[in-house]
Structure 1
Amino acid sequence: MTAIDLITKEDLRQFKNEMLTEMKHLLKPGQGQSKQWLKSYEVRKLLNISPGTLQNLRINGTLRYTKIGGLLYYKLEDIQALLEGGSK
């Protein structure tokens, strides 16, 4: 017989808090991340999302961006706000 592990809502809340803490630590300026603006590929890598998901975040206004020439740039503080559960 094998033991069955159940995941409770409290387990998920704890995991979420730990994940947010770790992401905040990774995003702190001066800790390998000194940029104020990130390119699309950097945001996708950081959030582990596809180009289509990033496009949806732009389209629905969840993540603000600035277009310069043909490149899209995202403010690091906007990404941090998104990870904390809200958009600006």
Structure 2
Amino acid sequence: MNVELITSEDLKQFKNEMLSEIKRLIGTPQGQSKQWLKSVEVRKLLNISPGTLQNLRLNGTLRFTKIGGMLYYKLADINKLLEGGAL
């Protein structure tokens, strides 16, 4: 039976490698923008109030996806809205 000792330094190195890999997998690559935006991000981007954003949702001007209690908007849909000049 072959026994290998694991030191605290080995564990620290493993942790750093694991965190780097997780960040790489879930992070947005440099130079690319997000595909989905939260309500706060959309309001800042369009410079509108929460009520205006709600009206855009209710009248079907801006599509959204609800996951849990959060609302998400496709960046492509927001770009189409801006190109159409609806705001």
TM-score computed with the length of structure 1 as normaliser: 0.60
Q: Identity percentage over the alignment?
A: 84
After superposition, give the CA deviation of every residue in 1:23-69 in whole Å (9 maximum; x if it has no partner).
Answer: xxxxxxx8966100000000000000000000000000000000000
Unpaired runs of 5+ residues, structure 2, are 1-28
Moved beyond 4 Å, runs of 4+: 30-33
Unpaired runs of 5+ residues, structure 1, are 1-29
Number of aligned positions between the proteins: 58
Q: What is the aligned-residue RMSD (CA, Å)?
A: 2.2
Other-structure match for 1:46: 45
Check 1:31–1:48 CA distance in 2 against 1; reply closer, same or farther (3 A cut). Answer: farther
Check 1:83–1:31 CA distance in 2 against 1; reply closer, same or farther (3 A cut). Answer: farther
Other-structure match for 1:55: 54
Aligned partners of 2:30, 2:83: CA distance in 1, in Å? 19
- Largest Rg, 1 or 2: 2
